[in-house]
Amino acid sequence: MASTAFLSSFSPSSSLQLCSSFNGDYLAPSRCFIGAPVTTTSSLSLSGKTNSYSPKKFQVSAKKVSGLEEAIRIRRMRELETKSKVRRNPPLRRGRVSPRLLVPDHIPRPPYVESGVLPDISSEFQIPDSEGLVKMKAACELAARVLNFAGTLVKPSVTTNEIDKAVHDMIIEAGAYPSPLGYGGFPKSVCTSVNECMCHGIPDSRQLQNGDIINIDVTVYLDGYHGDTLRTFFCGDVDEGFKKLVKVTEECLEKGIAVCKDGASFKKVGKRISEHAEKFGYNVVERFVGHGVGPVFHSEPLIYHHRNDEPGLMVEGQTFTIEPILTIGTTECVTWPDNWTTLTADGGVAAQCEHTILITRTGSEILTIC
């Protein structure tokens, strides 16, 4: 599930919030799936390896873009703008959100469900033992099956409420709990983010339209472990430019995963993703990050998808997500008053994909496949 690299207070009564203004230190005025700032201080010793995070002010640095890269980006934007004139769906509007679905009492809940409070990020890396790894793989495999099923429901006139209900039913029939439900007050069992919605879209009564793209984010809690995955699907006849964006986003995920192995630097993930996205003139959203996952929904390490100089090395046995978001236009965002739904500020479409992976001695294993 997409997570954020920043946090500050958010007023439920506020109007749309612009998420990109900064001056040195940066706090984003919106609420999202990770509940603490990334500027944490911790020292972890795992398998004889140490990752130190020293206290410091978080600063935003910008990569100097070459003239060629900028020219490619502008040309790509013009191409997509021309195609958009042929067919452009109306701006996303919130529909009616149905009541929260019930979960049978016999199904175990994650600890955060009862509190209703957005949990802090755990500072502990998720490294399951042999028994835990079996459970982790089962949770991830279930999440992958549910996501595949959800994708078959994507058709014009289907509502995201209907997708939520189908996903919810499949998860509880498997004896699992839909992890988003009740997480910091999130009211649904899955996130459905359509067109310009970057992430954390709340399912509602809006019908999918021919030409939409939709990011479906599935996380399940099974036998004490979370499995987290997502993909962007096509609804009907989709613009070729939008298809290209989704394809490149998937390639970025693959390239990010390819650099992962025991001892690899976390910052290599963002470097590889950024390099590939820039070849096609796309922009990588910095605000939302991957995260450790296992018995805890969100933990360190935080996985940045853009170029960065964050410290830390991967450790054999770790489980975490990589989940880049690419946009055609700006990476600035607005958040609806529901405190969750996050859209591109310029209305341009966004695409995202995600896997949960396990770090091995020589590489990594994708767990969210079936």
Domain residue limits, the chain: 82-366
Residue 250 counted as an annotated binding residue:
no
**Residues 11, 13: Cα–Cα separation, whole Å:** 5
Q: Which stretches within 259-319 are classed as H helix?
A: 267-279
Residue 217 counted as an annotated binding residue:
yes
pLDDT for 33 beyond 60: no
**pTM for this entry:** 0.80
Residue that wins the pLDDT comparison between 40 and 263: 263
Residue 323 counted as an annotated binding residue:
yes
**Confidence band (pLDDT; 50, 70, 90) for 165?**
very high
Nearest by Cα to 156 from 269, 233, 219: 233
pLDDT for 292 beyond 50: yes
**Confidence band (pLDDT; 50, 70, 90) for 307?**
very high
Residue that wins the pLDDT comparison between 85 and 275: 275
Q: Supply the pLDDT for residue 1.
A: 72
- Crossing angle for the helix pair 267-279 and 240-258, nearest 10 degrees? 150
Q: Which CATH architecture has domain 82-366?
A: Alpha-Beta Complex (3.90)
Residue 354 counted as an annotated binding residue:
yes
Q: Supply the pLDDT for residue 116.
A: 79
Q: Supply the pLDDT for residue 67.
A: 59
**Residues 26, 265: Cα–Cα separation, whole Å:** 24
Q: Supply the pLDDT for residue 117.
A: 86
Mean local confidence (pLDDT), 306-313:
96
Q: Burial of 237 by CB count in 10 Å (0-12 exposed, 13-18 middle, 19+ buried)?
A: exposed
* Lowest-confidence region among 71-85, 196-210, 289-303: 71-85
* CB atoms near residue 87 (< 10 Å): 11
Residue 228 counted as an annotated binding residue:
yes
**Confidence band (pLDDT; 50, 70, 90) for 2?**
low
pLDDT for 242 beyond 80: yes
Residue that wins the pLDDT comparison between 15 and 227: 227
Residue 2: both structure tokens together: 């997409």
Q: Burial of 269 by CB count in 10 Å (0-12 exposed, 13-18 middle, 19+ buried)?
A: buried
**Residues 307, 109: Cα–Cα separation, whole Å:** 37
**Residues 71, 93: Cα–Cα separation, whole Å:** 33
